[in-house]
Amino acid sequence: MSIHYYDEELDRSLNLLKDEETLTDEYEDAVKKGDDLQRYVSRGMTVLSDSQKAATERIERLTAENGPLNTATYKIGAFTPQLKERKCQIRAQITKMQSKFKSPPLDYFQILDALTTLAGCSMNPLSALNAIKKGVDIWKSTQDYKDEKYKRDKQRIHRRRDLDL
């Protein structure tokens, strides 16, 4: 059932309520003036009877065999298994994609820096230590990236799981 339907129903209901309010105000004025109340009571009963008929017709229309409520119930029942299956497929695809992107991107500037260090190496121990230090720096940067990415992925997965519950 659409917003348009509810908008129309609200307008109809508010019009009926407005008629009832008008009759109530007229009745209260008649009580103050001491007028004949029977006329207002019978008009009020007529308006309330019309409101009741309209409500009954609306209920019958909504709950009819091919009415909007039964149709919506059928659609929900029919599509829920398909939606669950599709949701599982999407989750599997996301998990598969996440596994493809687990390795960190290489920092080419650090690799270039390490190669430059190796190219400028002489046979002294300080050059060897500089080369080892560059290798450790590259390894450490990839580990930091993996650890940070793991934490972010774990948080994202927990948030998705919480939303699905």
The answer to the question of residue 25 being in a domain is yes
Domain count, the chain: 1
Task: Decide if 32 is inside a domain.
Answer: yes
Evaluate whether 103 touches 137 at the Cβ level (below 8 Å): no
Q: Is residue 57 part of a domain?
A: yes
Which residue range is the domain that position 43 belongs to? 19-63
110 contacts: CB under 8 Å, gap ≥ 6: 134, 137, 138, 141
pLDDT digits (tens, 9 = 90+) for 113-156: 666 666 665 666 776 677 777 777 777 776 666 666 666 666 66
C-beta separation of 17 from 48 below 8 A: no
Residue-level length of the chain: 165
Residue 45 lies in a domain: yes
Residue 1 gets which letter from DSSP? -
pLDDT band (50, 70, 90) for residue 27: confident
Is position 28 within any domain?
yes
